[in-house]
Structure 1
């Protein structure tokens, strides 16, 4: 009978799963738990094969489910033995979800087996029922440390927080979760394996998500050598030209007339700076400042596309400003030097990425020369800037 042949295949697959589960790189405890369940199921299947239970639609359905789900579990255990550790970590929720699904479906299939006519003792059948209950109640979830990392990744992507220190902290959390050393060479190797894994990803939606994670992690110090960062930065800088661009009209808030930091759309489709439109509503206004259309004051949607465009414009102009100021600082004009240092300090205070660009432009040797300057204001600005540049930056130190 076809079902008896399928039972033999299932028993073999169970053995293969249990053997392979010793080699998984993540969730060893979860895979062991499922392996223990499957090992308790195998004797039941052997008994059914021995008794040559008659085919029926229900019996065949149960065998089909068992065959499918245990094969899928075997596929999962193989994936978790071969894929990169970082890839598996960022997919830990998916792995847990698949384990839960496999376990629940296998439990459901056991409930369809004709145990009453199987020749099994009443005690064995009771034990099987307890096994089913245990499998249904089994919880497979990402660990607390994994959830913390996934939440931090999601927040970084959502807020477009590609700050170097944020990425460094995230990578250290990943190293702790994976049980690997925090040496730069080790972290770089893990990231390279992760990137290689994504290049082979066929699921486009998942590949896009993984690309976002890579973009975040690549901001870390371990992702690139100083030389690699320099090449990437100067390729970007040289493509921008030498003159800052004026902001587009759409960048300005119609209320404040300033470039927006947090643009939001109202129910009328118009975009304003969040704080400005919230103040407008707080003053009792219910209509759009531009169109006079009555607004639903509870609706303020972040205009993420516009915000990204504004950020890109700001970054472009900041790169040009940092590059062009270096020559002015070296000009020797005390007033001009002080003005440039004030501007440079302001940029360094804004974002970690600005500080990295200053380092890549090789400002540090230039700034150090001013430590012997007679003008106290110049010395003070230089000291503040240097302290910011070397903080949490091993390359700058």
Structure 2
């Protein structure tokens, strides 16, 4: 409320001046705001301006002699002065700033409207000599008293809640980020595809918060900047956006309706929601889960419509069209790979890298097409390339080649055949890379058995080479974890080679080689089997012989803890063997 010292004329002048500022030079303030609360307040302000004009033109005694008029004018002047801050925010701050402060701003205007309505009610009796002005004032007071400025719109409420939640700096998927930006753009009255305008609003928000700001506001800014930076990056469209230059004419670009509105990528499992919009199943499910997590009604990101059901129906027609598009582009890439890999050493390295990238992408993103890549003979061409270029091939190209091979052979037993072909016919570097792969990847029981039967011989032979020994031991350890492989490996002569590593001490030998050798032997002798009748070393000793057992006991005092544990497992396995019964009395070893 204004000071009692303020005269009625001064209060009336303050009202007129403040109303002019609120309504702007054109006097039509309600058209200058994208937000409903200031528009409605501006509408009341226009009517209040008319009342103030009539009061200024009324008989001087009416304004100067009535205490009720004095009180009402001073009260209205004070409330209008307090309203200037809110209108300044609506008019000069960024739209996002207004949005994240929409509730306190709306509450401020609501309180002022109610207060002004009460002040205007005091004028009812003093204005009785002027019926027309009295009616205008009474109607305005009643309308302002009944005005519902308590709520923001449903869309503003949803986005406000979402932004407040984002202040908690949560991790969000690309789908959720896209839905948030679509909601934000819709609320701001913008096209979500106009990244420039959204970026400008975020930039303005940063400027608004450069001075004083709350921690929550700063967190919202940081979260929005992070989301926008991630969301505004156009993803690489699978099967062609990164294709080599020579494929630009052949590649068939995707139709717009093939792309999920949330991920901006070609859909693999398109579904239709209640709003009749189509999304990638996983993407829209992420958004629905986030809505439920935040306690808000699930909405359609494209239309903003609140959904009555979370039902998702497969879009069979669109899925079929996408599948046909994928198949045609896969054929294009396979044909291109055959052409450029078939050129051998004459093909530029850049072309080879792009071809290998395409092959890797096909295998990773479309597993059902791997057999087509393999049947086309691309694996053999990659192996040939590794052999021909092994001496002058950089680590980048070798890595891409091995990644492509590993991806091509992921799905069934036939994949291991291609891996073994590369290991058997490749150079030393290729064999080491393949052995290292076998040692690191997770294999099924069928895979372990297949590799042991068809590639175990190469791995055993590699044990005789100091350079190839480490990756070979890693691969053999992986294979030895399958009980059925014990007989296969023993028949391939793995025991003498492992015993040689275990008992031969070289000063510069890594200790983990001996650890791996002991672990492999422990896996082999864990169960009764063919090892009991096989030779354990080149001198013709069997595993149960006194010579082998004494040497194993000697290792307990001069090896690592891991090796000692494996040696004890070996001794336990030997002792558990029926073939060892009565071979050597325990007291003879003491």
TM-score normalised over the length of structure 1: 0.52
Partners of 2:125 and 2:68 in 1: how far apart?
Answer: 14
Q: How does 1:192-203 map to 2 (within 5 A)?
A: 192-201=203-212
**Conserved 8 A contact 2:96-2:201:** yes
The equivalent residue for 2:15 is 10
Larger Rg: 2
Partners of 2:45 and 2:410 in 1: how far apart?
Answer: 71
Q: How does 1:142-291 map to 2 (within 5 A)?
A: 142-157=152-167, 160-182=170-192, 183-201=194-212, 207-222=214-229
Distance 1:59 1:70, change over 3 A: same
Partners of 1:366 and 1:142 in 2: how far apart?
Answer: 56
The equivalent residue for 1:67 is 77
The equivalent residue for 2:587 is none
Q: Which runs of 5+ in 2 are unaligned?
A: 1-5, 234-363, 365-395, 416-590
Alignment partner of 2:88 out of 78, 81, 100: 78
The equivalent residue for 1:109 is 119
CA displacement 1:254-299 (0-9 Å, x = unmatched): xxxxxxxxxxxxxxxxxxxxxxxxxxxxxxxxxxxxxxxxxxxxxx
Matched, 1:121 2:97: no
Q: Using CA pairs under 8 Å that are at least 6 residues apart, name the structure with larger relative contact order, 1 or 2.
A: 1
The equivalent residue for 1:371 is 404
Partners of 1:48 and 1:367 in 2: how far apart?
Answer: 89
Partners of 1:34 and 1:367 in 2: how far apart?
Answer: 69
How far is the alpha carbon of 1:82 from its aligned partner? 1.0
**Conserved 8 A contact 2:195-2:232:** no
Partners of 1:225 and 1:159 in 2: how far apart?
Answer: 19
The equivalent residue for 2:256 is none
Alignment partner of 1:134 out of 116, 135, 143: 143
User: What's the secondary structure of 1:179's corresponding residue?
Assistant: coil
Alignment partner of 2:108 out of 88, 93, 98: 98
Q: Which runs of 5+ in 1 are unaligned?
A: 227-340, 342-362, 380-397
Distance 1:110 1:218, change over 3 A: same
The equivalent residue for 2:301 is none
How far is the alpha carbon of 1:107 from its aligned partner? 0.8
**Conserved 8 A contact 1:24-1:78:** no
How far is the alpha carbon of 1:109 from its aligned partner? 1.0
How far is the alpha carbon of 1:135 from its aligned partner? 0.4
How far is the alpha carbon of 1:154 from its aligned partner? 3.0
CA displacement 1:10-37 (0-9 Å, x = unmatched): 1232223222634335336324323334
Aligned length: 238
Distance 1:17 1:186, change over 3 A: closer
Distance 1:15 1:218, change over 3 A: closer
How far is the alpha carbon of 1:63 from its aligned partner? 1.9
TM-score normalised over the length of structure 2: 0.36
Distance 1:37 1:166, change over 3 A: farther
How far is the alpha carbon of 1:225 from its aligned partner? 8.1
**Conserved 8 A contact 1:188-1:224:** no
CA displacement 1:142-194 (0-9 Å, x = unmatched): 11110110122234445834555433321221111112233333322211211
Partners of 2:140 and 2:56 in 1: how far apart?
Answer: 17
Structure 1 runs (4+) greater than 4 angstroms displaced:
55-58, 161-164, 223-226, 365-369
How far is the alpha carbon of 1:106 from its aligned partner? 0.9
The equivalent residue for 2:32 is 23
**Conserved 8 A contact 2:11-2:73:** yes
CA displacement 1:310-369 (0-9 Å, x = unmatched): xxxxxxxxxxxxxxxxxxxxxxxxxxxxxxx9xxxxxxxxxxxxxxxxxxxxx9x96786
Distance 1:143 1:24, change over 3 A: same
Task: After superposing the two structures, state which structure 1 stretch, 16-25 or 76-85, moved more.
Answer: 16-25
Name the Cα RMSD after superposition: 3.4
Distance 1:187 1:126, change over 3 A: closer
Distance 1:366 1:50, change over 3 A: farther
Partners of 1:369 and 1:49 in 2: how far apart?
Answer: 96
